[in-house]
Amino acid sequence: MSKPNVYISTAMGHTEPDLILKNGSVIDVFTGGVRKADVAIKDGIICGVGTYSGKNETDVSGKYIMPGFVDAHVHIESSMTAPGEYAKAVMPHGITTVIADPHEITNVCGEDGLSFMKESSEKVPLDINLMLPSCVPAAPFEHSGAVLTAEDTKRLAPEFFGIGEMMNYPGILSCDSETLGKLCSDIIDGHAPLLSGRELDAYICAGIKTDHECGIVEEMTEKISKGMYVLLREGTLSLDVARLIGGVTPHTLRRCAFCTDDRFIGEIIRDGSIDHCIRKSVSLGLDAVDAIIMATLNACEMYGMKNKGAVAPSYIADLVVADDISLGSIARVYKNGVLVCENGTALFDCETADASKVTRTVHLPKISPDFFADNPPDVITAIELVPKSIATKKVTVNKSDKLSKVCVIERHHNTGCKGIGYVVGYGIENGAVAASIGHDSHNVIVIGDNDADMALAVNALGNSGGIAVCSDGKILSFMELGIAGLMSSKSAAEVTKEHNALYAAAKTLNITDKIDPFLSLSFLPLPVIPEIRITDSGLFDVTEFKFIQ
């Protein structure tokens, strides 16, 4: 704090506060209690919680005052909007800080992508703490648009909040010098699905203390028992809160926080973000104050953010004023003591950063139907989708079974690399879906039941990229994602409208309701999530960490 004399004087009642929130019910994240009090704020800092009066009072009688919420791990690119529109969508839901890993755009555009996200983040009231991606590409054999080496990481690290999720756990376990060289910060995020026993011990010994990939309570409990923080994730596709809430006990509570990871902007606007995690946890039996502690103080302590995450003297005045403790309605959001949102509406606008270096990023020739021609054997190793999860299963099927053909095409350097495989559980009929979103290298991915519509869908992406739905030789719906083929430059409302049109078009192709037609597709190329994936080099067995011949 830079003005202790002013804050002390304000706390003592000698200096007029800039704002007093009167007569609220304050959530005490230190004791777990709730007490009636006024909150006095000066220069963006909480100076007192007690009884105060002054010229600038706001009566919040009957309402609850709590710290601003923290999303402990998010990829803003997955919202499909630029940081400014993202901030305008999440802040009315009480989010005042996010730990953001921009590895999506960095895999496409390298340091130009990092610069775009840094410049954009500086133009919003939301605290966007940017991590430096550790896995560009996600795996050593991936064909991404850029590569960040250990040397690059060491050079760039001082400009970032910490090191982003370390997905290359084989590199850690084998003591690969290039991988270990990237662990050059005191803050390092983890990504270690199903890692256990000695391998988990070894991973933690590299200095990694968080994980957002737990799928079951037993995994969560083991990681907490070994000193890790576990993030309960509730994205658009990965719905882990219900799976893991049973692992939150009085003993494990303080090692748990919430994150959204990948969540579409329309869902944020409709259902919320971390506030949605809180409401869902409470509906599943967690105490409301405990859920708020996870969303605030725990996340701040996890990342070493001092003087943030509590309604207490000397803490930053990032505050949520809610009509009820279960967050059925959020009345006001304050950032550094300034009202930024009221009754679900952002009270700010954001400048747009220059995106000229992160556009026109899809480099492909015109694709013809015979590009997808193949001659599969009678018995095929295929990818089975898991409903409401980004995990997949490796299955053996007959060529005559109901399958969807999938293809990943390298799109950064026009190399012509492609991988063709088959998917169980997508269910597309008489059409195709193509996208320039294919985690994490973001090569073009297309799925369909006929080669002609698959070619049409890929060609519809053009140089800018986006998502296309095609059928019977016609483009039914297309959404352009001009920023790195990942994000739109349009408003959140426009992006939501276009995305709704994509869903309506996909519905006509009989894609199963058990999966998300676009997110389930976009995660198929991610070779660090079990069990089996498809890349532009072919089918990949994640468990064995090798390609399937």
Helix or strand (DSSP H, E) at 378? none
Which amino acid belongs to residue 332?
A: R
Q: What is the 3-state secondary structure (H, E, C) of 217-246?
A: HHHHHHHHHCCCEEEEEECCCCECHHHHHH
The two tokens of residue 318 are: 């990032």
Per-position DSSP letters for 499-534, written without gaps between them: HHHHHHHHHTTT--TTS-TTHHHHTTT-TTSSSEEE
Per-position DSSP letters for 317-372, written without gaps between them: --EEEESSTT-S-EEEEEETTEEEEETTEE----PPPP-GGGS-----PPP-GGGG
Residue closest to 520 by CA, chosen among 418, 397, 399, 425: 425
Q: What is the pLDDT of residues 99-115, one digit of tens each?
A: 999 999 999 999 999 99
For residues 41 and 17, the answer to whether their CB atoms sit within 8 Å is yes
Q: What is the pLDDT of residues 316-332, one digit of tens each?
A: 999 999 999 999 999 99
For residues 331 and 320, the answer to whether their CB atoms sit within 8 Å is no
Q: What is the pLDDT of residues 179-229, one digit of tens each?
A: 999 999 999 999 999 999 999 999 999 999 999 999 899 999 999 999 999
The two tokens of residue 211 are: 């994980």
For residues 147 and 115, the answer to whether their CB atoms sit within 8 Å is no
- Of the pLDDT bands very low, low, confident and very high (cuts 50, 70, 90), residue 2 is low
> Exposed, middle or buried by CB within 10 Å (0-12, 13-18, 19+), for 158?
exposed
At 331, is the secondary structure helix, strand, or coil? strand
For 544, residues 6+ apart whose C-beta sits below 8 A from its C-beta are none
> Exposed, middle or buried by CB within 10 Å (0-12, 13-18, 19+), for 334?
buried
For residues 254 and 32, the answer to whether their CB atoms sit within 8 Å is no
Q: What is the pLDDT of residues 230-287, one digit of tens each?
A: 999 999 888 999 999 999 999 999 999 999 999 999 999 999 999 999 999 999 999 9
Handedness of CA 282, 285, 288, 289 (dihedral sign): negative
Q: Quick one: what percent of the chain has pLDDT higher than 90?
A: 93
> Tell me, what's the pLDDT at 12?
96
The bridge status of strand 474-480 relative to strand 19-27 is unpaired
Which amino acid belongs to residue 392?
A: T
d(CA 326, CA 278): 7
Token match 């009636």: residue? 36
Token match 């005559």: residue? 400
For residues 299 and 29, the answer to whether their CB atoms sit within 8 Å is no
Q: Look at the pTM and tell me if it is higher than 0.75.
A: yes
Check pLDDT > 60 for residue 84.
yes
The two tokens of residue 196 are: 């256990």
Residue closest to 383 by CA, chosen among 212, 502, 548, 139: 548
Token match 């203390």: residue? 209
For residues 228 and 210, the answer to whether their CB atoms sit within 8 Å is yes
Please name each of the domains of the chain with its CATH number.
66-354 (3.20.20.140), 359-547 (no CATH)
d(CA 526, CA 521): 10
For 213, residues 6+ apart whose C-beta sits below 8 A from its C-beta are 190, 191, 192, 193, 233, 529
- Of the pLDDT bands very low, low, confident and very high (cuts 50, 70, 90), residue 41 is very high
Q: What is the pLDDT of residues 121-178, one digit of tens each?
A: 999 999 999 999 999 998 888 899 999 999 999 999 999 999 999 999 999 999 999 9
Check pLDDT > 80 for residue 383.
yes
